[in-house]
Amino acid sequence: MNQAVRNAGAVVAAMLLAGVAAMAQSPVIELQGGAFRVSGWKAPQSEPSGGWGTVFLVYAGTGKVPALLGSYAVEAGTLVFHPRFPVMAGVHYHAVFREPSGLMIARDFDGPSRATNPVARVEQIYPSADVLPSNLLRLYVVFSDPMSRGEAAGHIHVEDDRGNILPDELLPGQELWDPTFRRLTMTFDPGRIKRGLTSNRTIGPPIVEGRHYRLVVDRDWRDARGVPMVQGFARNFTGGPPERTPPDPAQWRVTVPAQGTTNALAVDFPAPMNYSLLLKMIQVARGQAITAGAVALDRHETEWRFTPDTPWKAGDYRLAIDTRLEDLAGNHIGEAFDIDIFEKVSKSIERKSVTIPFAIR
């Protein structure tokens, strides 16, 4: 028996095994609803001994790469491959079906088109003041839409007043995002801020008092869909004196509203405070109950305003302030960012709050 005859015999045997009904039409590979289907081929109920992967495989790359992860199912007689992860924009898929007869068909697919419409922009950068302390520790960049990580190092810069990029200002590599990827925390190089450290002594602080700077976010920063922003963002600021004194609630001014109103309670600080911590580290309480309401920040984060959900009642209230609340330079209540070792360092962590009582009349 020559080779062709042997092959023909094998094909006939395979067809008989696979069922004559399968001969009615040629198999076609389709991508429907995120799953790859072999239409026109009646799949046997039981999986082949080597697994469905011996019959049908999908690849999402070229060269010697593993096949796409996923699971197989026979649905109404049709073999279906469900990818483990959703079909993704920008991916090219190569699906290969090998009939038991030996006949091989392949079909290529592209994932959905990548989005191209820009939607994201920088809403604000905190601190929002025009003059920032020379030992400013952190910035918060707030975007309108979820962003991609891995972009900060290339797309946020501090420039001097002649437009030169100052390369060693920020520590962009460790991107600290909120869970929605809309707020990025950027840290200035702490080695240049801490007094006594090599970088501080030789290079100096990142911001120099009296000098003018420009904070620039490039339009090319990609959002979570991979699309650049609508526009870039820039803001000028001037270096101010370093902030070395821990915030002291005794210096805060409290403006108390009248009973029966839902007017805002206001607390004014002598210097701007850390934006993100200010939003959450001051509470209003009455007796054992925390008063529900909305917090807003104003006057470049020197004013905290609290609007209660229900009108103020006459009586004693208090503000409870978490001592981890920081100013712009990382000083927190009762403790400076860098501690002079000639002063005593306490032996234990004291997580506590300080209170400011006030009365509604």
Residue numbers 12-51 binding other proteins by CB under 8 A: none
Q: Contact with other proteins (CB under 8 A): which of 101, 238, 283, 307? A: 283
The least CB distance from residue 293 to other proteins, in Å, is 8
The least CB distance from residue 53 to other proteins, in Å, is 13
* Residue 11 engages other proteins in binding (rule: CB under 8 A): no
* Residue 282 engages other proteins in binding (rule: CB under 8 A): yes
5: enclosing H helix or E strand: helix 3-18
How far is 262 from 51, CA to CA, in rounded Å? 68
- Is 288 in contact with 334 (CB distance < 8 Å)? no
* Residue 296 engages other proteins in binding (rule: CB under 8 A): no
The least CB distance from residue 137 to other proteins, in Å, is 6
Name the nearest CA neighbour of 302 among 129, 65, 137, 79. Answer: 129
Q: Please, which of residues 202-231 interact with other proteins by CB under 8 A?
A: 202-203, 222-226
Is the Cβ of residue 15 or residue 35 nearer to other proteins in the bound state?
A: 35
Q: Contact with other proteins (CB under 8 A): which of 99, 189, 243, 301? A: 189
The least CB distance from residue 231 to other proteins, in Å, is 20
Name the nearest CA neighbour of 114 among 143, 146, 87. Answer: 87
Q: Contact with other proteins (CB under 8 A): which of 280, 296, 311, 315? A: 280
Q: Contact with other proteins (CB under 8 A): which of 9, 51, 112, 150? A: 150
Is the Cβ of residue 5 or residue 196 nearer to other proteins in the bound state?
A: 196
Q: Contact with other proteins (CB under 8 A): which of 18, 47, 107, 181? A: 181
How far is 289 from 211, CA to CA, in rounded Å? 48
* Residue 338 engages other proteins in binding (rule: CB under 8 A): yes
Q: Please, which of residues 105-144 interact with other proteins by CB under 8 A?
A: 111, 137-138
In order of 92, 97, 111, 215, the CA distances from 70 in angstroms are 16, 15, 16, 46
220: helix, coil or strand? coil
The least CB distance from residue 283 to other proteins, in Å, is 5
The least CB distance from residue 343 to other proteins, in Å, is 9
Q: Got the DSSP string for 244-300?
A: -SPP-GGG-EEEPPPTT--PPEEEE-SS-B-HHHHTTSEEEEETTEEPPEEEEEETT
Largest CA distance in the chain: 108
Backbone φ/ψ region at 288: left (φ over 0), alpha (ψ -120 to 50), beta = alpha
Q: Contact with other proteins (CB under 8 A): which of 82, 98, 194, 300? A: 194
* Residue 61 engages other proteins in binding (rule: CB under 8 A): yes
| DSSP 8-state class, residue 93 | E
The least CB distance from residue 271 to other proteins, in Å, is 16
How far is 118 from 224, CA to CA, in rounded Å? 11
The least CB distance from residue 67 to other proteins, in Å, is 8
Is the Cβ of residue 47 or residue 322 nearer to other proteins in the bound state?
A: 322
Q: Got the DSSP string for 193-212?
A: HSTTSHHHHHT--SS-TT-E
Is the Cβ of residue 22 or residue 273 nearer to other proteins in the bound state?
A: 273
Structure tokens at 357: 């009582």
Q: Contact with other proteins (CB under 8 A): which of 11, 131, 176, 230? A: 176
Q: Please, which of residues 251-270 interact with other proteins by CB under 8 A?
A: 252-258
Structure tokens at 27: 């198999």
Rounded to 5°, the CA angle 206-211-213 comes to 70
Is the Cβ of residue 42 or residue 138 nearer to other proteins in the bound state?
A: 138
The least CB distance from residue 43 to other proteins, in Å, is 23
In order of 44, 65, 151, 272, 305, the CA distances from 56 in angstroms are 13, 16, 38, 63, 63
Is the Cβ of residue 67 or residue 234 nearer to other proteins in the bound state?
A: 67
